[in-house]
Amino acid sequence: MKKLLAVLLAAVLVASALPFTVFAAEGDDVLVISEDGSYTIDATQTNPVDIKGANVTVTLSNANINGGDAQNPVFKRSAIKVSEGAKVTFVLEGFSTISGYMEYGDQQYDYSCGIEVARDSAVTFEGEGTLKVTGGNYGAAIGSYGTEINYVGDEKINVGTITINSGNILAYGGYKGAGIGAGYHVSNQLITINGGTVRAYAGAEGAAIGNGYGTSGGAVGVKAVGEYTGGTIIINGGDIYACYTWDDNSDFSSFDAINNYDLNDGDQYGCGIGGGYGSSVDLIEINGGKVVAVSGGGGAAIGTARGTSKITHYNADAYHCNIKIGGNADVTAVTTDVKKDSDHLGGAAIGTGRGCHTGGNIEITDNAKVVAINASLSPAIGASSKVAPVGDGKTIPHAESIVIGDNVTLFAVSAGDYAVDKDAKNLQISPNYFGSSDRWFFDEPAVPITDIKNVKAESPKGEKTYEVPAGSVSLWANIVPPVTPVVTKANLNIVAPLAMALRFEDGGVYYSGDSVEVEVGKEYKFQMCTVDWTTRSVNGEKKIHKPYETFYPSETAWQHTNHGTYEDGVHGFCGSVVYTVTLDKNFGGNTYDAANKAFTLHKGNYTLRTDTNNCFMAYRFYYDEHYNGKAKNSMEYRVTTGIDNVLYDIGSDHKNTLEDFRYTKPLSALSINLPLGATVTAKEYIDDEFVQEAQILVTIDEANPGECYKNYYWKYANQ
């Protein structure tokens, strides 16, 4: 064995380039890691591992570590032990299997678990691989071993902290142990799940995530129901499935699988997430991720498991349950019990199990989405309806506090009278919700839920149709449509240059002087457009030329001339640059973000001014040299420029006749506003005859960035 370990050690050291570290066999059997560093355990190492007081990173690469079984009883211990003070990061690669020692035959249990996390130690799981961990006798898969003894004081067993950041983890609790957390007669401390895929299954009477069997109240010793705890469980993300039972053939990853399997095993009293049998829970906090929790045998899916029917050793002061679900968590909690008599009422889906005196403190807030289904007569959210084990022996327990916020999406259903405990001491529920207390909700007596598959049923108020499990008779759900946000509208005033328009994303075209109603705070997109000059008019009417009438209107008439028409594919053309404009609800100066082409207009000045150099550029067309010795501005030779759909030749048959509209023909010494970013096809005419054309990309004048126009010079064509 030493030679095998030496070869393994050498391989690890070469791969990680670490200095020599202690990585040795103990009695030729157990691998011991006792110094800080990084280590890899692969398929060649099958014997147990001890990590003693070190701060290490251990890569589990297709590892297969066994603490012993009936066929190999040499070790009879946990597969991996993390001792007090050690801090271990497990990096998962491939598919690794870790198994604690498990043998039930002679009832002489050697307490063990899969990965043992001692008090004051910490383990973290990362990586992309898969880890299958199975607990041993009385122990958790990941957490602590257990004991039949009720230890007290400093002798009591506690679990260190467990954190899961990523990876695929399958955790199967040992007999009376949790999947992830504590073993029998042990309290959990802190479990944090930030990501990854987690499938956790409890051993008999434990929680899938939390702690194992606490006590039924009839056990010999000083510990009583409620004094063991599931500790603090925080879920911030990941895909989590937590079920109160398992066997080698179990698959509870879907509702169909649940329906096809008998979950009502009388020996299984645990919960999905929280406390084991006879245990309380300090805090369950779910802030994100997708979580599915399933319970049976009197336990709550999320909260605490079954308590006790005996007053003996029940500690009402110690028994507590605090649950907070918020953020963007997506949570489904299912209690599968179908027994309806008073002795076998099920636990709540979210809250406490039967045999408890309280339903705890429950908050569902923020944007959480919660589905709570209870197949028994107890509420889906609150406490079991079984008579409390303390007091006068007749009192039905109720939650201390239930708070459900405005933005929660809640679907809670029960086979009992109420889906949400209406008699909680402190009940704060948004008025957007309503509850039904009518057991004849669907015109039939209360019956057990035998099929979790959904069927349609209408609410009594007729406001919405819900998908609810068959046989359900009580519902509490959000039926009020989301509150429509208050929309503030205002007039957006348009200021555009001469002969241009703004085309908005919805196809609306607006000209200078127009005003359009828009929503404050909403972003609107628009493009600049050059209009068709042939549609311009004076005093609202198209100007018809008369023989020898002056071509240009008077100054007064020019001031009243409109800006022409833009129409997709018909009149004018649209630029390629997309701008945005947003109306801000606050007072302030208007701004323009040139990099993002974004206008922000503030209250008191909702005027959109599309300025030169930001949105358009005026182009002027000239000759660039003399022709036959004459100056380029000589009236003896006239050059004209046209742009399709804006200024163009209508043909030689129409020359300044009554049928000609103003500006139909191309113009000499043309000055025209063009949208930035557009590619324009400009055409040169001499004596009304087409000569040449040019493709012009409209840009600002880089040489003169402050100028509001840019010159373009035609070269003389050969005649």
What is the tens place of the pLDDT at every residue in 429-442? 776 554 443 322 22
Question: CA separation (Å) from 643 to 57, 546, 623, 696?
Answer: 72, 25, 17, 11
d(CA 650, CA 350): 80
Average pLDDT over every residue of 424-429: 88
Residues 577-599: what's their mean pLDDT? Answer: 92
The pLDDT tens digits for 175-209 are 889 999 999 989 999 999 999 999 998 988 899 99
pLDDT, position 74: 65
Q: How, if at all, do strands 190-193 and 228-229 pair?
A: unpaired
Lowest mean pLDDT among 73-77, 177-181, 269-273, 699-703: 73-77
Count CB neighbours of 561 within 10 A: 18
Q: Which amino acid is at 87?
A: K
Q: For 329-338, what is the mean pLDDT?
A: 81
Q: How confident is the model at residue 674 (pLDDT cuts 50, 70, 90)?
A: very high
Distance CA 476, CA 453 (A): 18
Please enumerate in sequence order all residues whose Cβ is within 8 A of that of 94, keeping only pairs 6 or more positions apart, or say none: 61, 62, 129, 130
pLDDT at 407: 81
Query: Could you tell me the two tokens for 38?
Result: 């990084």
- Give the SS3 label for residue 259: helix
Mean per-residue pLDDT for 389-414? 85
Q: Cα–chain-centroid distance for residue 686?
A: 66
| Confidence tier at 292 by pLDDT (50, 70, 90) | confident
Per-residue pLDDT at 637? 47
- Phi-psi group of 670: left, alpha or beta (phi > 0 → left; psi -120 to 50 → alpha; rest → beta): beta
**Nearest-angstrom CA–CA distance, 480 and 700:** 55
Residue 287 has pLDDT above 80, yes or no: yes
**Most confidently predicted of 33-42, 70-79, 295-304, 552-561:** 33-42
Average pLDDT over residues 333-338: 75
- Point out the least confidently predicted range of 229-243, 441-455, 567-581, 634-648: 441-455
CA 472 – CA 474 distance, rounded (Å): 6
To the nearest whole number, what is the mean pLDDT of the chain? 76
Residue-level pLDDT at 690: 80
Q: Cα–Cα distance between 349 and 380 in angstroms, integer?
A: 5
Cβ neighbors of 610 (< 8 A, separation 6 or more) are 495, 496, 497, 500, 502, 528, 579, 616
Query: Could you tell me what percent of the chain has a pLDDT over 70?
Result: 71
Q: Which residue has the higher pLDDT, 717 or 397?
A: 397
CA separation for the pair 669, 560 (Å, rounded): 23
Q: How many CB atoms lie within 10 A of CB 459?
A: 16
Q: Name which of 332-336, 504-508, 572-576 the model is least confident about.
A: 332-336
Most confident of 96-100, 222-226, 410-414, 477-481: 96-100
- Give the residue from 86, 107, 181 showing the smallest Cα distance to 142: 181
pLDDT given at position 88 = 98
CATH architecture of 616-714: Sandwich (2.60)
Contacts with 249 (C-beta within 8 Å, 6 or more apart), sequence order: none
- φ, ψ of residue 587 to 5 degrees: the values are -75, 150
Name every residue whose Cβ is closer than 8 Å to that of residue 448 and which is 6 or more positions away in sequence.
Answer: 338, 340, 375, 376, 415, 471
Six token digits for residue 398: 């109720």
**Domain ranges for the chain:** 489-609, 616-714
CB 371 within 8 A of CB 335: no
Segment among 27-41, 453-467, 688-702 with least mean pLDDT: 453-467
The Cα-based distances of 107 to 111, 113, 215, 221, 489 in angstroms read 11, 16, 19, 20, 77
Q: Residues with Cβ < 8 Å from 225, sequence gap 6 or more?
A: 214, 215, 216, 217, 278, 279, 307, 308, 313, 314, 315, 319, 355, 389
What per-residue confidence (pLDDT) applies to 52? 94
551-569 mean pLDDT: 56
Strand, coil or helix: 6: helix
- For residue 512, pLDDT beyond 60: yes
pLDDT at 218: 55
Residue 78 has pLDDT above 80, yes or no: yes
Distances (CA, A) of 305 to 200, 208, 277, 279: 16, 11, 5, 7
For the stretch 633-638, contacts whose Cβ atoms lie closer than 8 Å and that sit 24 or more positions apart, written own/partner, are 633/669, 637/686, 638/668, 638/686, 638/687
Q: What is the pLDDT of residues 614-656, one digit of tens each?
A: 999 988 887 655 545 555 544 344 567 888 888 765 544 444 4
pLDDT range class, residue 247, cuts 50, 70, 90: low
Positive or negative: CA dihedral 243, 253, 114, 287 = negative
pLDDT > 90: what percent of the chain?
Answer: 37
Query: pLDDT tens, 250-281?
Result: 444 444 444 444 444 445 678 999 999 999 99
Q: Is the pLDDT of residue 99 over 60?
A: yes
Model confidence at 335: pLDDT above 90:
no
- The model's pTM is 0.61
